[in-house]
Amino acid sequence: MKKYILLLSCFIGLGITASAQTKTQDEINADLAVHRKQIDSLDKLMIHIIAQRQQIVREVGVYKKKYNVPPLQPARFKQVVDRAILAGQQEGLSAEFITQLMNAIHDESLRIEGDTTTKH
């Protein structure tokens, strides 16, 4: 009998805990909205920073054209990726993710530099 009372007490305790953690869909949506607003703000900031970076890439493209330097500089790109991987790992990001991100940014940078070098 004591086993059943103890077991019943455990189930009642679990039920109370579970019901205390229950939220309505509106509450869940409100909680998520706070986080989503933060994510949206950070996304906007990332886009702004990338746009600033690409503006510098345009300037580099003009400079490279002036001095006949090819847009692709493999050694420089390797340095950029290696440094980004280290920084990313310190923030808990995978090397694979950072590599993909930097490759995407680099592809766009080469496109911009190519556009810059053909326009002048």
CATH number (domain holding residue 101): 1.20.59.10
H-type alpha helices, the chain: 2-20, 25-66, 74-90, 95-119
Quote the CA–CA distance of 119 and 71 in Å, as a whole number.
14
- Which one has a higher pLDDT value, 82 or 21? 82
Q: Provide the mean pLDDT of the chain.
A: 88
User: What pLDDT was estimated at residue 3?
Assistant: 59
How high is the pLDDT of residue 14?
Answer: 55
C-alpha triplet 16, 34, 89: angle, nearest 5°? 100
Nearest to 60 by CA among 78, 50, 46, 73: 73
Per-residue pLDDT tens over the stretch 88-110:
999 999 999 999 999 999 999 99
pTM of the predicted model, to two decimals?
Answer: 0.74
Look at residue 120 in the predicted model and tell me its pLDDT: 43
Mean pLDDT of 2-15: 55
Please tell me the predicted confidence (pLDDT) of residue 20.
Answer: 59
Mean pLDDT of 18-26: 80
The reported pLDDT for the residue numbered 15 is 56
Domain that holds residue 16: 2-119
**Residue showing tokens 């989503």:** 36
The pLDDT confidence band at residue 115, using thresholds 50, 70 and 90, is confident
- Overall number of domains in the chain: 1
Q: How far is the CA of 27 from the CAs of 15, 22, 39, 41, in angstroms?
A: 20, 10, 19, 22
